[in-house]
Amino acid sequence: MRSRAAPPTARQRLVAFLEERTSFSVIFRALFMHQVPGFVNPLDYLGEATAFVFINQAVTGILLAMFYNASTTPVGHATAAYQSIQTIMTQVPLGWVLRGLHYWGANAMVVLVFAHMLRVFYVGAYKKPRELTWMFGVMLLGVVILFAFTGYLLPWDQQAYWATMVGTDMPSYVPFIGNWLLELARGGAWLSGATLTRFYAIHMLVLPLLLVGLLSVHLALVFRHGQSIAVEAEERGRRDERYRRTLVDFWPNTIAQMSVVVLVVALGLLLLTLLFKAPLLAPADPLNRAHYQPIPAWYFYSIYYVLDAVGRLFPMQAPILSPLVVIGLPLVGGIALLAMPWIDRSPSPEPAARPLFISGALVGVAALLVFTYLGNGLATGGVSNTVVARPSFAADIQPILSAKCYICHSGSSPSGGLDLTSYASAAKLHIWVPGNPQQSLLYEKITGAVPPRMPLGGPYLPPGAIQTIANWIKEGAPNN
Ligand code: HEC
């Protein structure tokens, strides 16, 4: 006599319950249980890496929001916003790691979305039928930049304040409605608590909703067309036995490959966080314009540089050219990107079959990198970041001091009584011990070993300039 089947276990009952109501196994099979071509370039997983960093941003962002106070109410010499970031950095357990992950994640996000886009461009993956996937991706790039831009202001330190002053100046270049747009962005003519409230709301409510919405469509389309790759692969595999043997299972093999790329990105993020503390400069000082050179965030360096160059080369035409640079360039670039699937009409996605587009993109990326680098030079006040081994006072040290220190340390009553405009006047306060940088107040001040760090309020000297000054003291601080 046959024994009766054992009654279903609790787990089986749960699975059956869910299956009946959600058909999750059908969905799982549709998404994951298929075969894909075996060899995949790790660069094809940059999208997954970006998605991972987005999750990192969401989690760390929510945790940071539990401690952050988006208020410009004065607290001591700073504001409540600044103080709350300082509390996160110094008192909240592992708060500095939390903020580091969010800070480096934000930078990684801009880089990864851009790299992901370049990869997709290179392999021509925006071609039919993926035009919409691409367009939603381009919109996501815009959202990521807005995320970075609005987040930049929140610490309300000098860098945040003045970078956002530069950034919110951009809309004012729009013809006719420029000033209206500028006041809309700032919540007034000037950067104030109203701006902070506005940026916080956009950063915490508008952009997350926008991003999740756009990302859902983007991912749905990615899955939809991933499906068509699988179908094609299966069909070709049926005809071609050798090809069929090169196919791999999406689950778990491809997922495992993706996980490796994601793990590398996660480790990189953690390493950056632990090695380079997220900066917090002096509290924002809206009245201190003369004492702080406003610099934009790094992803605006290229525009900043071109704008500066146009102003220097064509001062007379600047009123017409500047709006073209600040508004026209990003606008044309954005529209060209959106329309790329229709601009590049070559039938083959192969890079070799699209020499014009590949070389055009190369020139564009090269220009972007070079202008970003040059813009960084402008941002650090024209101070070189190259290390001079045996510096001369006149040729190497004085230019740094004049660019970064004279605004406070010169004139009839220099700050701290320290006049840095000549060797003799600087030497009077014994701010260096020849041969010994570590014992020299000058070195201690520019590294922050003795607070407050100089230049007061930041931006601080680039590492190369600090090393050059150290080398000069090591050489005996000669007056040469
Ligand atoms: C925004 C204004 C400002 C800038 C820019 C600035 N400093 Fe200062 N610095 C001060 C003030 C104010 C003091 C005095 C108060 C203090 O030490 O906290 C000071 C003090 C110092 C002292 C200590 C003097 C002493 O005898 O105690 C040194 C050294 C110094 N600065 C070096 C520099 C150098 C080098 C630079 C440029 C790389 C620079 N500072 C840029 C405002 C500035």
pLDDT tens for 309-322 read 998 899 888 888 98
Q: Token pair for residue 264? A: 């590398």
Q: How many angstroms is it from 416 CA to the middle of ligand 1? A: 6
Q: Which amino acid is located at 381 in the chain? A: G
pLDDT top residue among 218 and 281: 218
Tell me: the pLDDT tens digits for 254-312? 899 999 999 999 999 999 999 999 999 889 988 776 667 778 889 989 998 999 899 88
Ligand 1 atom nearest the C-alpha of 429 is 26
Q: How many angstroms is it from 414 CA to the middle of ligand 1? A: 9
Band of pLDDT at residue 337, cut at 50, 70 and 90? very high
Ligand 1 atom nearest the C-alpha of 441 is 29
Is residue 452 within 6 Å of ligand 1 at its C-beta? Answer: yes
Residue 1's pLDDT is: 54
Residue 160's pLDDT is: 93
Q: How many angstroms is it from 427 CA to the middle of ligand 1? A: 14
Residue 365's pLDDT is: 95
Is residue 458 within 6 Å of ligand 1 at its C-beta? Answer: no
Band of pLDDT at residue 477, cut at 50, 70 and 90? very high
Which residue's alpha carbon is nearest to atom 29 within ligand 1?
A: 442
Residue 85's pLDDT is: 98
Q: Token pair for residue 260? A: 């490796």
Task: Identify whether the C-beta of residue 100 lies closer than 8 Å to the C-beta of residue 278.
Answer: yes
Q: Token pair for residue 143? A: 């959202």
For residues 382 and 461, give the distance between their C-alpha atoms in angstroms, rounded to a whole number.
10
Is residue 252 within 6 Å of ligand 1 at its C-beta? Answer: no
For residues 186 and 126, give the distance between their C-alpha atoms in angstroms, rounded to a whole number.
37
Is residue 426 within 6 Å of ligand 1 at its C-beta? Answer: no
How confident is the model over 420-444, as a mean pLDDT? 95
pLDDT top residue among 179 and 37: 179
Is the pLDDT score of 465 beyond 80? yes
Q: Token pair for residue 201? A: 């709301």
Task: Identify whether the C-beta of residue 129 lies closer than 8 Å to the C-beta of residue 63.
Answer: no
Q: How many angstroms is it from 405 CA to the middle of ligand 1? A: 7
Ligand 1 atom nearest the C-alpha of 400 is 38
**Cis? peptide before 455, omega within 30° of 0:** yes
Which residue's alpha carbon is nearest to atom 18 within ligand 1?
A: 452
How confident is the model over 145-158, as a mean pLDDT? 96
Band of pLDDT at residue 380, cut at 50, 70 and 90? confident
Ligand 1 atom nearest the C-alpha of 418 is 24
- Report the chain's mean pLDDT, rounded to a whole number: 92
Tell me: the pLDDT tens digits for 44-82? 999 999 999 999 999 999 999 999 999 999 998 899 999
Q: Token pair for residue 454? A: 């100089």
